[in-house]
Structure 1
Amino acid sequence: MHKKEFRMSESKDAKYNVDQEGQEFDSVVGSLFFGEINEDVIFPFPHFSEDQVEMAKEMCSAVSKYGEDAIDGEKFDEEAKIPDEVIRGLAELGLCGLAVPEEYGGMQLDYSLYSRVFAEVASMDGSTATMLGAHQSIGYRALLNEGTPEQKEKWLPSLASGEKLASFCLTEPGSGSDAYSIKTKAIKNDDGSFTITGQKLWITNAGTAEFYTVFCKTDHEKDGKMVEKISCFIIEKGMEGVSFGEKENKMGIRASETRAVYFDKVKVPAENVLGELGKGFKIAMNVLNSGRLSLGAGCVGGMKTILKMATEHAKGRKQFGAPISDFGLIQQKLAFMAARCYATESIVYMTTGNMIKGMNDYFLETAICKVYGSESLWTVVDTGLQIAAGNGYMKEYPYERIMRDSRINLIFEGTNEILRCFLALSGMKGPSDSLKELGKVSDVSSALKDPIKSLGVLSDFAKKRISKMIASRALTKAHPELEEYANYFSSMMASFAIQVENTLIKHGKKIIGNEYPQGRLSNMATELYVMLCVISRTTSILEKDDVPQDKKDYVLGLTKIVIKESRQNFVANLKEMTNNYDKLTAEVSQAVCNYDGYGLDIINY
């Protein structure tokens, strides 16, 4: 089918926008750091509208059918290449321009539809999903976000049609998570153009792309001095001075192309600047924020595939006269896999739904979708391979390929470690601003130097603190069958907010360099968001009259498993905030570095 058959009519699209979009509101995860939640934003769960359901079913069905006929993950992996005709076929389905406005030849899908269609692709092959994601989730996303009408008119039609592929060029040999340390330089010429010199590393679609979103350092005058800032440029493959390294030989997603890109005095016209000069860092972060969302959605697709395979094997494999699906330890695995899939799907579509409705900042939510989704997929794949046992270890079965393909998700678009720090520090910014009223954040006693002046401030702080300590039911709209779990959430949210304040008071500015508490706070925020999304989604399902009772029972069971696991993880992290061996860990780690490894041998010690 041609992509035009899937486009929503203007009337349907307009009706959807009127029904769903409302006033702007703040980040849901950000509010958790204050110990607050707006139930009107959470309930009801943002399920697909009738128009979205129809659109999603049609597109996913067509994508699935095409995948059965054309996408051979095993072959792609062995040959380390996605055939050109497959890319053309995907493009004909409209999959290269899912979010592009119709006026430029795209599908103009909202965040939820985009994520669901992308998940369908990811369920079939990781390399294909990576190629498409690198093309549109990040490759030309800056053009969508920041491009002028002239820039969009010039490039979007060919990108949306798949005539040209796009690539996102940020990472460098000496710059990974520390994006601001890039060295690629753009020097402004007298005629207004720029000359760009530098290199980018591990760039997906590098050799096949025609369009590159490239981030460079540019010079700017500030207070009479020249300073460097990051700016964003469009570079085309045919420009003189653009070259590529050899194709990388990767562990997984082998069919997606990854290369280094070199820029040797590439002259770029002024009209190729994307957004404002010097604002490139923010542009890059905004691109990665939305890219992390599609990555989370893709993880859901992967989990569904591996769970289906594991279930079929467990039901068909007999040992001791019974299918292994009858054995308790296998049942435990299947239930865990399904629960993780349900949880990840819930956080992804709560996030997309709120983005559509008008959530202002969503970078905390998309970071959680990426971290929780990628780690869930990895553990689900590992569990599925364990169920398959010997078969899972053999190359004739897809388990080991899926495992290799899945591992990268914990690394790219921000490693999970750096995203945990990002989540914690970004989330604490609001509470830290509030605590500044007390004086020095790391020393509340300083506020007491002027008791009369500080009395009102401290009184307000104490009242807020006490209100957090007295656990009240924050989720009044949860289904009655979930009341116990809603109460768990309320108590946990209060404990979390108090711990955020305690951490800020204890560490002050030094929290920036202390990743131990950062990691725990981010883990707790993640588990709270997971619980919140699952409770909301399950409430909506339980309240529907057209959902069969057996399906409701199944969903309720998944919800209980998710919440029990999240609560256990939350409590463990909470306890470790005050009872840990961080100092010992740092000392042992230093010893490992001093010994360049283990440093022991049974022969000597």
Structure 2
Amino acid sequence: MASNPNGNFESVVGSFFFGEMNESLVFPYPQFSDSQVEMAKEMTAAVDQFAKDNFHSEKFDNEGKLPESIIKGLSEMGLMGLGVPEELGGLGLDYSLYCRVFGQLASKDSAIATMAGAHQSIGYRALLNEGNDEQKKKWLPRLASGEVIAAFCLTEPGSGSDAYSIKTKAVDNKDGTYTITGQKLWITNAGLAGFYSVFAKTEHMIDGKSVEKISCFIVEGGMPGLSFGEKENKMGIRASETRAVYFDKVVVPKENILGELGKGFKIAMNVLNSGRLSLGAGCATGMKMILDLATNHAANRKQFDRPIAEFGLIQEKLTKMAASTYAVESIVYLTTGNMIKGMNDYYMETAVCKVYGSENLWSCIDMAMQIAAGNGYMKEYPYERLMRDVRINMIFEGTNEILRCLLALSGVRGPSEDMKELGKISDVSSALKAPIKSLGVYTKFARKRMSNMMGSKQITKAHPELKEQAAKFSSMLGRFAIAVEDSLIRYGKKIIDNEIPQGRLADMAIELYVILACISRTTAILNGTKATQEQKDQALRLTKYICNDSGRKIKRNLKAMSKNNDKAVAKISESVVKTGGYGFDIIDF
């Protein structure tokens, strides 16, 4: 297995922060086998037909409810147990097939996909990941069949992104049971579920001191003390059910503990990693569907005696939509491919898929509505409902802001360890007192920095048509690594409190992953025999467009690391908070 400088199985995105890139994890681009292609086509066609016959999205949205027949139909098709092993009643799909099939469902109705995703992407994912054989045999067949619906209970009124601050408690009764007391907020499938993955604080004695840690429990529907709030009245995905869940001294047996006591935080984070990946896959197929709508309108809507698709500003939007769709799809399936190969450190990649996918999906529906113009604003067309539905994706599974911080702080952790020795003698006067001792450390640091400046991590496996893009990637990767070092030198430990530069580092890492994934995928297409020449030409055009666009974003962020308005941002926002808003009126000054 490939290793990063810290000796762990390598995260592609994580390695960027060292100025590293292991081609073996990127080339060749993961491919579906012939049997997988056949299965994927059969299943997506079945989803399409079922959706055509049964999905009435406008009606579901207006009523704010899904009919039971939808869940029953999905269950009969096996769509409620995509990742469950076949011997336990599921389809046993790998990550790539799971994402492709789930993505097809997401493209048909966001509320239905939310229900199905909350059930299996996160609802019983902790059971799949951490459950023992007895727990899996008891629950998974019923969950995969749709007989029992699952819900994921982590978020609380006082803890959103700060998951570790949850207040729900699980007290050991010393008789083989635990009593759970607390509440959870915004829980999808809450009133439908019979299986709840519940995260609560448990007490542990460490070195003679009482310490609270998070543990995960199975709570079964109908248990005394379990109740729910009213159905939330949401902006979008209205047909999916969201409620508060209350635990009033709910007693569960110790057999319902999932994984190891006190390890619930890690369990929750691993579950959310899976959820972010399927969310990214849903964004990709959703964007394809929206692009189809926009293209059809642009090709058939005439102004000044010609289709609006012939006008430059409309063409620009269609191009952006097509390129971003290709990019999102490329990062999602590069990630799933590596997960299938055994990469277990993938939380940074799934965060990228979620952030990049959700923001580009939002941009995509915004451009599609603009192309549709007045029609797009009317309820008789799907655009306004789609816009309401997709907005939640930038909040779901960890807000995009917190995920940017996660990416940046996780990424700089490794380089900061490497720079510790340098940090001990970074004061010039100290170095001069021990020049021989200092020389080796500084020489090593300078050599690595010079290497990054030269862009030494060259891509050798890219198609010749992408030689220029590969070279630019190497250069930008080196400059990014230098920006990481400069940030650590400038901020030190205070980098944790400086979210704006964190955001820039995260955005650059995201764009580097996008470029690399697209180069790899297009190389595979150009070298392969399945695509037509027109498809190859289009893939090449899209990749060059993406590389140029992402490259410009990286350059802007590199420049902004040293020349920015960060101090002004802090002062202006401080004043806004102090005055409770804008603080001006035109009639006063």
TM range (shorter): over 0.9
Q: Give the CA deviation at 1:440.
A: 3.9
Q: Distance in 2 between matches of 1:448 and 1:506?
A: 21
CA distance in 2, matches of 1:237, 1:98: 23
The answer for the alignment partner of 2:83 in structure 1 is: 99
Q: Distance in 1 between matches of 2:508 and 2:94?
A: 30
The equivalent residue for 1:268 is 252
> 2:577 maps to what in 1?
593
- Verify the 8 A CA contact 2:105 2:113 in the aligned structure 1: yes
Per-residue deviation, 1:25? 3.8
Match of 1:359 among 334, 339, 343: 343
Q: Is the 8 A contact 1:244 1:260 kept in 2?
A: yes
Question: Which region of structure 1 is more displaced relative to structure 2, 45-54 or 193-202?
Answer: 45-54
Aligned pair partner of 2:524 in 524, 540, 553: 540
In structure 2, what is the equivalent of residue 318 of structure 1? 302
Q: CA deviation at 1:71?
A: 1.1
* Contact 1:473 1:487 survives alignment (8 Å): no
Check whether the contact 2:20–2:457 (CA below 8 A) recurs between aligned residues: no
Aligned to 1:235: 219
Q: State the partner residue of 1:70.
A: 54
1:416 to 396, 400, 403: 400
1:57 aligns with 2:61: no
The letter of the residue matching 1:192 is: G
Which residue of 245, 250, 259 maps to 2:243? 259
Deviation at 1:472, TM superposition (A): 3.5
The residue aligned with 1:451 is 435
Aligned counterparts, 1:71-470, within 5 A: 71-440=55-424, 450-470=434-454
Q: Which amino acid aligns with 1:247?
A: K
RMSD: 1.4
Post-superposition CA distance 1:506-550 (Å, at most 9, x none): 111110111011000000000000000000000111112342111
Instruction: Report the 3-state secondary structure (helix = DSSP H, G, I; strand = E; otherwise coil) of the residue aligned with 2:419.
Output: helix
Contact persistence 1:424–1:519 (CA under 8 A): yes
Q: Distance in 1 between matches of 2:333 and 2:288?
A: 16
Stretches of structure 2 lacking an aligned partner (at least 5 in a row): 1-7
TM-score (norm 2): 0.97
Q: Supply the distance in 1 between the matched residues of 2:401 and 2:41 (Cα, whole angstroms).
A: 36
Query: C-alpha separation between the residues in 1 aligned to 2:32 and 2:438?
Result: 50
Equivalent residues of 1:504, 1:511 under 8 A apart: yes
Q: What does residue 19 of structure 1 align with? A: none
CA distance in 2, matches of 1:262, 1:155: 22
TM-score (norm. length: structure 1): 0.95
Displacement after TM superposition at 1:35 (Å): 0.6
The alpha-carbon distance between structure 1 residues 596 and 150, as it changes in their structure 2 partners (threshold 3 A), is same
How many residue pairs get aligned? The number is 583
1:36-78 residue CA offsets vs partner (Å, 9 max, x unmatched): 1111111110021112111111111111111111111111101
2:484 is the alignment partner of 1:511: no
CA distance in 2, matches of 1:206, 1:314: 41
Find the residue that maps to 1:207 and give its secondary structure. coil
Contact kept, 8 Å, 1:440 with 1:446, in 2: the verdict is: no
- CA–CA distance in structure 2, aligned partners of residues 290 and 442 of structure 1: 41
Tell me how far 1:561 sits from its aligned partner.
1.4
Matches of 1:603 and 1:360 in 2, distance apart? 60
Secondary structure in 2 matching 1:150:
helix
Q: Which residue of 2 aligns with 1:568?
A: 552
* One-letter code aligned to 2:102: F
Distance in 2 (CA, whole Å) between partners of 1:518 and 1:380 is: 26
Residues 237 and 473 of structure 1, relative CA distance in 2, 3 Å threshold: closer
Q: 1:45·1:540 contact (CA, 8 Å) conserved in 2?
A: yes
What is the CA distance between 1:376 and its match in structure 2? 0.4
2:337 and 2:411 map into 1 onto residues whose CA distance is: 21
Unpaired segments of 5 or more residues in structure 1?
Answer: 1-23
Q: CA deviation at 1:455?
A: 2.5
Which segment drifts farther, 537-546 or 395-404? Answer: 537-546
Q: 1:8 corresponds to which residue?
A: none
Flag the 1:545–1:102 CA change in 2: closer, same or farther, 3 A. closer
Equivalent-residue separation in structure 2 for 1:449 and 1:171 (angstroms): 54
341-350 or 463-472: which moved more? Answer: 463-472
Task: Measure how far apart 1:412 and its partner are.
Answer: 1.1
Q: Residue type of the partner of 1:183? A: K
Q: Is the 8 A contact 1:442 1:507 kept in 2?
A: no
Q: Percentage identity across aligned positions?
A: 69
Distance in 1 (CA, whole Å) between partners of 2:425 and 2:161 is 28
Q: Which moved more, 1:555-564 or 1:388-397?
A: 555-564
Amino acid at match of 1:383: M
Aligned CA distance change for structure 1 residues 589 and 91 (closer, same or farther; 3 Å): same
The answer to whether the Cα contact below 8 Å between 1:441 and 1:505 also exists between their aligned partners in 2 is no
**Alignment correspondent of 1:34:** 18
Counterparts of 1:349 and 1:170, CA distance in 2: 28
1:497 and 2:481 are equivalent in the alignment: yes
Q: Which residue of 2 aligns with 1:14?
A: none
| Pairwise CA distance, 1:462 | 1.6
Q: Is the 2:370–2:376 Cα contact (8 Å) retained in structure 1? A: yes
Deviations 1:413-452 (A, max 9, x none): 0000000000000011111111112234986875665333
Aligned residues of 1:438 and 1:444 also touching (Cα < 8 A): no
Partner of 1:597: helix, strand, or coil?
coil
- Cα separation, 2, equivalents of 1:592 and 1:571: 30
- AA aligned to 2:262 is G
**3-state SS of paired residue (1:36):** coil
Residues 449 and 217 of structure 1: is their aligned pair in 2 closer, same or farther, counting only changes over 3 Å? farther
What is the match of residue 5 of structure 2?
none
Tell me, in whole angstroms, the C-alpha distance in 2 between the residues paired with 1:465 and 1:77.
55
